[in-house]
């Protein structure tokens, strides 16, 4: 069975969805959740599913000891699910094409440093976009610039608010993220 590590910084709804999805398969399982936020709700969600949690600081992410902890697990895939820090080059180099991220917009639009969550949804509404969506992509040394694996769009109306856009995006994330991870692990 293949091993997945999930990195998350916040509520962890995508992380929990991935944990639940793979708990019902023989393809892979989430073996650990890593977070840089000691008060993140993802910690409670992971523990409710008996998944070990590794809490680390930004400095530890940049140092080699976190890489060593990852190497001890020997994951087949590292999934960033609402992880807000830039992933360090020394980890990316060790796991080429094995680190993926989900972005709540259709890249290359609305990507880059500071573009996450409600910041994106507000910009999309303010710019009166007709559609938005999700992008699942490989992680490289630049924010949101790795090769795109999958995109799914959703139409918007004039009545959409940042909150309704967030709901539409969340539905797409919940449906497609585990499916794409499965597909990648089966290849």
DSSP string, 77-134: EEEESS--SPPPHHHHHHSTT-EEEEESS-TTTT-STT--HHHHHHHHHHTT-SEEEE
- Position with higher pLDDT, 161 vs 113: 161
Asked whether the predicted pLDDT for residue 187 surpasses 90, the reply is no
Asked whether the predicted pLDDT for residue 55 surpasses 90, the reply is yes
Q: How far apart are CA 149 and CA 129, in angstroms?
A: 23
pLDDT for 94 equals 95
* Annotated binding-site ranges: 12-14, 101
Contact 150, 106 (CB under 8 A): no
Question: What's the whole-number average pLDDT of the chain?
Answer: 96
Asked whether the predicted pLDDT for residue 64 surpasses 90, the reply is no
Q: Which of 21, 90, 103, 142 is catalytic?
A: 103
Average pLDDT in the 104-133 region? Answer: 95
Q: Is 103 designated active site?
A: yes
86-109 per-position pLDDT tens digit: 999 999 999 999 999 999 999 999
Asked whether the predicted pLDDT for residue 65 surpasses 90, the reply is no
Q: If DSSP codes are grouped into helix, strand and coil, which group holds residue 128?
A: coil
Asked whether the predicted pLDDT for residue 81 surpasses 90, the reply is yes
pLDDT for 138 equals 98
Q: Give all domains of the chain, ordered by start, each with its CATH number.
A: 2-104+134-152+173-186 (3.40.50.170)
Q: How many CB atoms lie within 10 A of CB 53?
A: 18
> C-alpha 110: how far from its chain's center?
16
22-53 per-position pLDDT tens digit: 999 999 999 999 999 999 999 999 999 999 99
Average pLDDT in the 179-187 region? Answer: 95
First to last CA, the chain: 14
* Annotated binding-site ranges for (6R)-10-formyltetrahydrofolate: 101
Average pLDDT in the 71-79 region? Answer: 97
């Amino acid at each position: 069975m293949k091993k997945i590590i999930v990195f998350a910084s916040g509520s962890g709804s995508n992380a929990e969805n991935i944990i639940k999805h793979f708990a019902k398969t023989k393809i892979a399982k989430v073996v650990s959740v890593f977070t840089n936020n000691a008060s993140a709700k993802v910690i409670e969600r992971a523990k409710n599913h008996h998944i070990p949690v590794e809490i680390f600081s930004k400095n530890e992410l940049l140092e080699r000891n976190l890489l060593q902890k990852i190497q001890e697990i020997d994951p087949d895939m590292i999934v960033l699910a609402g992880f807000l820090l830039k992933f360090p080059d020394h980890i990316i180099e060790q796991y080429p094409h094995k680190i993926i991220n989900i972005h709540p917009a259709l890249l290359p639009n609305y990507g880059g440093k500071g573009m996450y969550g409600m910041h994106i949804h507000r910009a999309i509404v303010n710019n009166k976009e007709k559609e938005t969506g999700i992008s699942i992509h490989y992680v490289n040394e630049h924010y949101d610039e790795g090769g795109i694996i999958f995109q799914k769009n959703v139409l918007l109306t004039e009545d959409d608010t940042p909150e309704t856009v967030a709901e539409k995006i969340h539905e797409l994330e919940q449906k497609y993220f585990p499916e794409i991870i499965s597909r990648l692990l089966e290849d």
